[in-house]
Structure 1
Amino acid sequence: MRVLMIGDIVGRPGRKALLDNLQALRKELKLDFVIANGENAAAGHGITKEIAKQLFATGVDVFTMGNHVWNKKEIIPYIEKEKRIIRPANYPPGTPGVGYSIFETQLGYKLAVINISGRIFMQELDCPFRKIDEILLEIQDKVNIIFVDFHAEATSEKVAMGWYLDGRVTAICGTHTHVQTADERILPEGSAYITDIGMTGPRDSVIGVCTNAVIEKFISQMPRRFEVADGDYQLNAVVIDLNPENGVAKNIQRVFNLE
């Protein structure tokens, strides 16, 4: 079984990367399921119902989110109904939407997708380690193929989560920092891991933002309006091969496509 996890989709260039490439990638790589982080898909902040529907049509099966999940307020009623958009599970009880869902592939295998948020240099949410323990306990008799999007800033927190979940999930893949790391591996107990999948968005940018505005802010220390950059795009992702009978990962490979 083969699953593609796509790094943070940023603005129009990120959406175009999927529109131009995802259908072909599904065929070329013989993908069974596609997970994409969509928290920056709408002008770099959040996602809308219209954009979600457009990208579902390209071949995305489920969106994970992150700290920008609520930036487009109109997503709230949609996320209550659309279980294919998953917000971080460690938001407080009563928050709209779901933190994980279980899906069925075309071949009939059940697969869980969990979204969790880090806390170092991020918004203070419930403990991600304790929260994911609760979720794994809830689903232990339902599914053994489990993908985790850990949306976090600190490398140390992501690495710690990888070791914490090794052998308990199929894959732990980091998002949020928009720079693809070169540490993909299968951990000793059989879980696929990468610290950050990277960004699907404008290549010539500062993590998706127009370069001049970011440079000016660093130099002047004054507020600047950040906008998504234009130009050529990149598509960052990982392909994970696994044994569908036991959920153990067999291989993880980075994808870095340029326009």
Structure 2
Amino acid sequence: MRLLIIGDIVGRSGRRAVKVNVGSLRKEFNLDFVIANGENAAGGKGITEDTARELFSGGVDMLTMGNHVWNKREAFEYIDRETRIVRPANYPPGSPGLGWAVYDMPGHVKVGVINLAGRIFQEPLDCPFRKADEIIARIKDKARIVIVDFHAEATSEKVAMGWYLAGRVSAVVGTHTHVQTADERILPGGTAYITDLGMTGPMDSVIGVKKEAAVGKFITQIPQYFEVATGPFQFNAALIEVSEDTGEAVSIQRIQNYE
């Protein structure tokens, strides 16, 4: 089975990048399933029903989220009923939406997707490591192929999660920092790993926002209004091949496309 996992989609440029790239990549690599992180898809922070539908119509099969999942209040009800979206599972009980889900594929193959958020330099959520244990115990009899999107700031926390889950899931992919790392590998036990998938959004920007505002804040230390940049896009993703029989990853390949 071949899966494409797309790094954080940011704003209009990111949504356009999905439309331009996903269809051709499906044909080129004979993709079976496309996952994308959509927590920045609507105006750079959060998601709405309209932006999610746009991504689904552009070829994305399901969306993971992150720390900006609650930025658009109008999305709360939508997230609660849309089974193609999962938000970090380590938010407190009672939060809208799903933290993990299992999806049926042709040939009676099932793919489980787990979304977790890190705690270093982020909100003090439940422990993502213990939450991973809890979900894996529940999902192991439902799906042989399991993908984990770990939305975290610190590279050390992501690497630790990769080793913690090595041999227990098919892939651990990091999101959130918007800069693609070059450390993709197959960990012992057949777990594909990359510290960060990168960003799908405006290329001439500082991790998605207008560069003038970001540079100005660093220079002056005065708060700036961060507006999503426009213009040419970058498309960052990873192509992962997984054995349907064992659930072990066979290969992982970074993808970087530009407009």
Query: Do they superpose with TM above 0.5?
Result: yes
Deviation readout 1:128-183 (Å, 9 max, x if unpaired): 00001000011121111000000000000000000000000000000000000000
Partner residue of 1:81? 81
Following TM superposition, by how much is the alpha carbon of 1:108 offset from its aligned partner in structure 2, in angstroms?
2.8
Structure 1: segments with no counterpart, 5+ residues: none
Question: Does the residue aligned with 2:143 lie in a helix, a strand or coil?
Answer: coil
1:23 counterpart = 2:23:
yes
Question: Does the residue aligned with 1:218 lie in a helix, a strand or coil?
Answer: helix
After superposition, residues 88-237 of structure 1 pair within 5 angstroms as 88-237=88-237
Question: Does the residue aligned with 1:74 lie in a helix, a strand or coil?
Answer: helix
1:45 counterpart = 2:45:
yes
For the residues of structure 2 that align with 1:10 and 1:105, how far apart are their CA atoms?
28
Following TM superposition, by how much is the alpha carbon of 1:20 offset from its aligned partner in structure 2, in angstroms?
1.3
For the residues of structure 2 that align with 1:108 and 1:189, how far apart are their CA atoms?
23
For the residues of structure 2 that align with 1:94 and 1:218, how far apart are their CA atoms?
38
* 52-61 vs 165-174, which moves further: 52-61
For the residues of structure 2 that align with 1:141 and 1:15, how far apart are their CA atoms?
35
After superposition, residues 1-20 of structure 1 pair within 5 angstroms as 1-20=1-20
Following TM superposition, by how much is the alpha carbon of 1:58 offset from its aligned partner in structure 2, in angstroms?
1.0
For the residues of structure 1 that align with 2:51 and 2:86, how far apart are their CA atoms?
15
Runs of 4+ in 1 over 2 A off after TM superposition: none
Percent of pairs with identical residues: 63
For the residues of structure 2 that align with 1:100 and 1:31, how far apart are their CA atoms?
22
For the residues of structure 2 that align with 1:230 and 1:165, how far apart are their CA atoms?
37
The one-letter code matched in structure 1 to 2:2 is R
For the residues of structure 2 that align with 1:141 and 1:41, how far apart are their CA atoms?
33
For the residues of structure 1 that align with 2:91 and 2:39, how far apart are their CA atoms?
15
Deviation readout 1:98-124 (Å, 9 max, x if unpaired): 100000123431000000000000111
Partner residue of 2:58? 58
How many residues are matched? Answer: 259
The one-letter code matched in structure 1 to 2:226 is F
CA RMSD of aligned residues (A): 0.6
The one-letter code matched in structure 2 to 1:108 is H
Deviation readout 1:185-216 (Å, 9 max, x if unpaired): 00122100000000000111100110000111
Question: Does the residue aligned with 1:17 lie in a helix, a strand or coil?
Answer: helix
For the residues of structure 1 that align with 2:166 and 2:236, how far apart are their CA atoms?
23
For the residues of structure 2 that align with 1:29 and 1:227, how far apart are their CA atoms?
35
For the residues of structure 2 that align with 1:116 and 1:231, how far apart are their CA atoms?
31
TM-score, normalised via structure 2 length: 0.99
For the residues of structure 1 that align with 2:21 and 2:134, how far apart are their CA atoms?
37
Following TM superposition, by how much is the alpha carbon of 1:231 offset from its aligned partner in structure 2, in angstroms?
1.1
Structure 2: segments with no counterpart, 5+ residues: none
The one-letter code matched in structure 1 to 2:78 is Y
TM-score, normalised via structure 1 length: 0.99
For the residues of structure 1 that align with 2:141 and 2:15, how far apart are their CA atoms?
36
The one-letter code matched in structure 2 to 1:143 is A
The one-letter code matched in structure 2 to 1:42 is A
The one-letter code matched in structure 1 to 2:108 is G
